[in-house]
Amino acid sequence: MSQMSRFALLALLAVPVLAQAGDSRSLVGEGMGSYYGNEFAGSRTASGERFDPGAMTAAHRTLAFHSRVAVTNLANGKEVVVRINDRGPWGKGRIIDISQAAAREIDMHRSGTARVRLELLD
């Protein structure tokens, strides 16, 4: 195997990419997710749009606005796709805040938090 081939193989192994239904996915990370609900309805998000608890949106500290992210509840395998439109979460140890509607889709709305996996959709 040539030096270049080894490098290419290592590069592929270093960046997990999964394909499903035409979307390629890049693992962002795993950690605790939470949701924010009706108390913020109508407030301006960091992207400038109004927060709608019924929309499939989320807050992330660094992902670009309008990025689509698959959020999987690791306890039950349920997944929802959200669009990043805000910055956060500001709770310690949290990696994403999703809307109340998105939390319902993955059965996270009762507990308020869940261990989740985030995958960026291309």
Model-wide pTM > 0.75: yes
Is 40 strand, coil or helix? helix
pLDDT digits (tens, 9 = 90+) for 2-44: 444 443 333 333 333 333 456 799 999 999 999 988 889 999 9
Q: Who has greater pLDDT, 12 or 61?
A: 61
Q: Is residue 93 a contact partner of residue 31, using CB atoms and an 8 Å limit?
A: yes
Q: What local confidence, expressed as pLDDT, does residue 11 receive?
A: 35
| Domains delineated in the chain | 16-121 (2.40.40.10)
Q: Is residue 71 a contact partner of residue 96, using CB atoms and an 8 Å limit?
A: yes
Q: Who has greater pLDDT, 10 or 58?
A: 58
Residue 74 clears pLDDT 70, i.e. is over it = yes
Nearest to 51 by CA among 62, 43, 59: 43
